[in-house]
A and B are shown apart, each in its own frame.
Chain A
Amino acid sequence: MQVNAKRENNILYIRLCGELDEHSAAQARHSADTLAESSALVERAVFDLGEVSFMDSTGIGFLIGRYKKFRRLGVPVYITNTPPTTDKILMMSGIYSLIPKI
């Protein structure tokens, strides 16, 4: 799993590419948290899931964990570009009430 970031108009876009499962989550968590810590003064963080080729329930835990991290920094979090298979899991978990889809 690759975690890339770009900053545009005070919005931090975090793009996940590849498979997000229990094995890849630790590294992805570390990368995303490093980005969070260096995200001073961003207005919001947006997780772009467009390139996620596989995700299981580990992804739910991953996203809620990052949501908590950003919330401590006062940064609201959003999700965008969810592929249908990933959407099915996220929808089931009710995560969109915490992290809205844009």
Chain B
Amino acid sequence: MENYMKMEIAARSENESFARSAVAAFALTLNPSLTELSDIKTAVSEAVTNCVVHAYRDNEENAKILIECKTETLPVQAHRGDRCEKYGVIHITVADLGCGIEDIDKATTPFFTTLQDDERSGMGFTIMQTFMDEFSVESEKGKGTRVRMTKKIKATENGEVKERVNA
């Protein structure tokens, strides 16, 4: 079964918390573990922060961030021992219409930052890559940047308990 949501927010730092919480709330339908949910929140926060900090620094007019999420429950089942596991998946896209990234390889290198004096760690893309199962970024100068991320959510059957999230 598929489900989706789309939202558009102003590229302002006060929306960072809202954006990651909204995506996390949407992901709850897949019954994620606390760790999975926290990974999603962190990755979304990194993507949104990039849009706020970098995308519109030359032109703040009409600065917006577009977030789309799609969830699906995969029909494929992987057997592990006598247990039968299903996977849910959430696809998240975070896009802006800002300045674009000149050199994506450079930008995604750990610790690389264009704003050294700003106490930026340069770890944003590395965290997105590490915390999510799939990650890609496409960008066009002057047009914007789009980050796509996918996280697999393990669902367990047969009454097996995993750490539950209190929604």
User: What is the interface of chain A, defined by CB distance below 8 A to chain B?
Assistant: 19, 21-23, 25, 29, 54-58, 60-62, 64-65, 84-85, 89, 92-93
Contacts and interface: CB of A to CB of B under 8 A. Distances in A.
B42 A61 contact: no
B45 A61 contact: no
B121 interface: yes
A57 to B, nearest CB: 4
A33 B130 CA distance: 31
A23 B13 CA distance: 5
A85 B165 CA distance: 14
Given A22-B13, A22-B53, A29 B38 contact: no
Contacts of A92: 123, 126-127, 130
A23 B126 contact: no
Contacts of A65: 119
Given A85-B42, A89-B42, A92-B130, A22 B49 contact: yes
A21 B16 contact: yes
A84 B130 CA distance: 15
A56 B17 contact: no
A73 to B, nearest CB: 17
A17 B123 CA distance: 23
Contacts of B46: 56-57
Contacts of A25: 119
Interface string B118-134: 11110110110010000
Contact of A56 (B13, B45, B118): B45
A89 B16 CA distance: 18
Nearest to A55: B42
A85 B119 contact: no
A23 B14 contact: yes
